[in-house]
Amino acid sequence: MIRSWHSSSLLGLVAVGVLAWAPRAAAFCRTTTTENFVPTITKPCDDAGQPLSWATRCVGYSVQRSASSQVGLERARQIVAEAFAEWSAHDCLATLGPTCSGAASGKPSMTAQDLGPVDCDAVEYVQGGSNANLVVFRDGDWPHDGVALALTTVTFKLDGGEIYDADVEVQSNPAEVKLAIDDPVPAGAYDLRSILVHEFGHVFGLAHTQPANTTATMFERYRTGQTFMRDVSADDVCGLCNVYPPTRKATCAPTPRGGLGNECGGGEKDKGCGCSTPGAGAGGAASLLLGAGLLAAFARRRRDRAR
């Protein structure tokens, strides 16, 4: 069975309630197969479900061809590539976090590759069809929680937690969100690269880090003018190295499951791209859960955070 839900969103904060957490060992968290897990201060990470991860050494992604009125396609591809590269650039042992154990020397066994733009702008996973791991900008109405700046939806195999597909949506309606794509980042704008580095942590299977890690890329809150999420922290590197150790035995198979699909719906396959179906075959019937229930769950999570 295959499940799909929103991994988490990056929240742009207007109201600021800085909570004081007692300092303690507090590391990264992983997204798991547990549905509707809501982090709390006493239980920031889910330990009941199976953690999610990709089976391959690399993820192939596609930027949606229309990009945004705030960032053109080629500039968007540049920033997306830089944001993905940030995750893969650091040596696991050299950047060992305080609670990171067992890291070996070397880069994490995970990279990302730009497979070229696609026309499809839908967040979807098509069982038996072609797919794309999408980065898409929403210049029109934002179909999710109004406070969220971006949203990553991860589709995975329920048994074992292998990630099959990940789609990142970025809110880019100029009337709602001013995106910064160059330095310096204006005080009232959101740094696109920071947003993307954070969301790509979700693509790789990381959840929001524990609340003590306020300077981590996977910290859940972000404000205009900030750029700290561009650079992954030791906690973030520890997370990626934990999921994808340098010594992991895996091959690079960037083609999405079923081949790279340019069109939505899985019907159209780009020539020459259906050459690889990484990972284990899907067991059982597909069950794509991308509906009102998940959005409601997300909204409930938001309310919990707002308290």
**Residues within the interface to Zn ion (CB under 5 A):** 8, 10
- Residue (152 or 276) nearer to Zn ion, CB: 152
Distance CA 74, CA 191 (A): 17
Provide, rounded to whole angstroms, the least separation between the CB of residue 166 and Zn ion.
13
Q: Which of 196, 206, 221 is nearest to 306 (CA)?
A: 221
Contact 305, 148 (CB under 8 A): no
Nearer to Zn ion, 10 or 115 (CB): 10
Please identify, using beta-carbon distances, which residue of 13 and 96 lies nearer to Zn ion.
Answer: 13
Task: Name beta bridge partners: 3.
Answer: 156
Question: How many CB atoms within 10 Å of residue 129?
Answer: 18
Q: Are strands 111-114 and 133-138 parallel, antiparallel or unpaired?
A: unpaired
Shortest Å, Cβ 273 to Zn ion: 30
What is the closest distance, in whole angstroms, from the C-beta atom of residue 152 to Zn ion in the complex? 7
Between 10 and 192, whose beta carbon lies closer to Zn ion?
Answer: 10
Beta-bridge partners for 209: none
Q: Is there a contact between 156 and 146 (Cβ–Cβ < 8 Å)?
A: no
DSSP string, 18-40: ---PPP------B-BS-TT----
CB of 151 to Zn ion, least distance (A): 8
Q: Report, in Å, the least distance between residue 260 CB and Zn ion.
A: 26
Nearer to Zn ion, 10 or 177 (CB): 10
